[in-house]
């Protein structure tokens, strides 16, 4: 048989088996930015067994659900949650239309950069800031505002837009999971409508596959146009025990892989690893002050309110066999920009 005919047969066989995409997608070796070690091995072993039809742990494609926290798991969350930076920036941008903010808390504190004053009643401050910056417009207007902001705002340390402060190893993992038949979801405490405008472009995760916290909304006709209005009222907090609830509501299936980085992800990992099927729980552990940040039990910020990782979570990870992914050792490269 001539060479070109052989090649053609191979191509035809690959198309017929529908395996060619996977073969191309996984390429030479998956997860190139993951160092050889226990975390990478655990992932490869897990994906290997759930995709192997001859394994007792085989999971059909329709049930391969993977859920990822966002802040601190897919992108940087220090020194402040990105969405909080956005909210504070919005206060500053809207201030000219609200002269009363100069003398009213929490706005006065934001405008004066007096973050200590915000902490006296942090919860109430946050609710008022959300009401002022995240409500009173249509969903589409908010999506545009978030898109415009995320396109230009830069991280104070890395001097890059926030969507370039995502973790390269996690982009590879998302792609590897999808090429292995998984559906990948974000399940974040962050605002669902703050993330959706850019998650497909950045993570390959389409809007319907984003789960997050939300404000209440209302359908109405506005200037003759049917719109969904955002109201100054919390609808759902997708954190802690809210994560399995959000997963059940949006996805309707128990994940078999869940990746988080803080005590806000504990219940999601319990849920993913506590079903009848095999389940893999993973936690990013931020122990890399040089390339990113160090916080949590062994870090420089043991009491960080952002990405809280108490010793109890470390203990529970060990007890449950969750994989603690220490950034310093597990990842050969942290950000895409290092390519």
> In b/e form, how buried is each residue of 265-285, taking b as 16+ CB within 10 angstroms?
bbbbbbbbbeeebbbbbbbbb
Segment 179 to 208, residues that bind its own copies, using CB under 8 A: 183, 185, 192-193, 196, 200, 206-208
Closest CA to 164 of 128, 203, 197: 203
Nearer to its own copies, 168 or 213 (CB): 213
25 binds its own copies (CB under 8 A): no
Nearer to its own copies, 15 or 104 (CB): 15
- Length reported for the chain: 339
**Which pair of tokens denotes residue 188?**
């974040």
C-alpha dist (Å) from residue 11 to 4, 7, 22, 26, 28 = 10, 6, 13, 17, 18
CB of 116 to its own copies, least distance (A): 35
Closest CA to 299 of 285, 313, 282, 312: 285
How far is the C-alpha of 178 from the C-alpha of 257, rounded, in Å?
12
225 binds its own copies (CB under 8 A): yes
Nearer to its own copies, 82 or 213 (CB): 213
Rule CB under 8 A: choose which of 214, 262, 263, 287 binds its own copies: 214
In the beta sheet, which residues pair with residue 211?
187
233 binds its own copies (CB under 8 A): no
217 binds its own copies (CB under 8 A): yes
CB atoms within 10 A of CB 96: 8
Rule CB under 8 A: choose which of 69, 239, 265, 267 binds its own copies: 267
9 binds its own copies (CB under 8 A): yes
CB of 254 to its own copies, least distance (A): 8
Closest CA to 322 of 256, 252, 273, 271: 273
Instruction: Tell me which H or E stretch contains 330.
Output: helix 327-330
Rule CB under 8 A: choose which of 44, 85, 135, 228 binds its own copies: 228
Segment 111 to 130, residues that bind its own copies, using CB under 8 A: none
Rule CB under 8 A: choose which of 67, 83, 270, 304 binds its own copies: 270
Tell me phi and psi for residue 284, to 5 degrees.
Answer: -70, 130
5 binds its own copies (CB under 8 A): yes
Q: Which residues bind its own copies (CB under 8 A)?
A: 2, 4-5, 7-9, 11-12, 14-15, 20, 62, 139-140, 183, 185, 192-193, 196, 200, 206-210, 214, 217-221, 225-226, 228, 235, 241-245, 248-254, 267, 270-271, 274
């Amino acid at each position: 048989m001539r060479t070109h005919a052989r090649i053609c047969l191979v191509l035809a066989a690959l198309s017929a088996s529908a395996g060619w995409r996977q073969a191309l997608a996984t390429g030479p070796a998956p997860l190139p930015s993951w160092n050889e070690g226990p975390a990478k091995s655990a992932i490869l072993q897990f994906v290997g067994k759930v995709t192997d039809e001859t394994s007792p742990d085989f999971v059909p494609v329709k049930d391969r659900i993977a859920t990822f926290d966002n802040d601190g798991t897919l992108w940087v969350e220090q020194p402040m949650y990105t969405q909080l930076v956005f909210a504070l920036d919005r206060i500053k941008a809207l201030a000219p239309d609200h002269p009363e903010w100069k003398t009213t808390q929490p706005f006065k504190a934001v405008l004066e950069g007096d973050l200590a004053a915000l902490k006296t009643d942090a919860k109430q401050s946050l609710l008022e800031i959300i009401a002022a910056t995240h409500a009173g417009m249509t969903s589409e207007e908010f999506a545009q505002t978030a898109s415009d902001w995320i396109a230009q705002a830069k991280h104070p340390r890395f001097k890059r837009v926030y969507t370039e402060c995502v973790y390269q190893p996690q982009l590879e993992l998302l792609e590897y999971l999808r090429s292995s038949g998984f559906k990948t979801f974000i399940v974040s405490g962050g605002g669902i409508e703050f993330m959706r405008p850019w998650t497909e472009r950045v993570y390959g995760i389409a809007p319907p596959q984003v789960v997050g916290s939300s404000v209440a909304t209302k359908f109405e006709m506005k200037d003759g146009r049917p719109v969904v209005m955002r109201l100054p009222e919390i609808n759902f907090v997708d954190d802690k025990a809210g994560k399995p609830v959000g997963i059940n509501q949006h996805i309707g299936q128990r994940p078999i892989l869940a990746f988080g980085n803080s005590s806000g992800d504990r219940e999601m990992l319990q849920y993913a690893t506590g079903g009848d099927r095999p389940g893999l729980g993973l936690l990013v552990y931020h122990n890399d002050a040089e390339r990113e940040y160090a916080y949590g039990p062994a870090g420089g910020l043991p009491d960080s309110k952002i990405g809280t990782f108490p010793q109890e979570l470390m203990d529970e990870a060990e007890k449950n066999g969750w994989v603690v992914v220490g950034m310093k050792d597990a990842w050969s490269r942290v950000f895409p920009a290092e390519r």
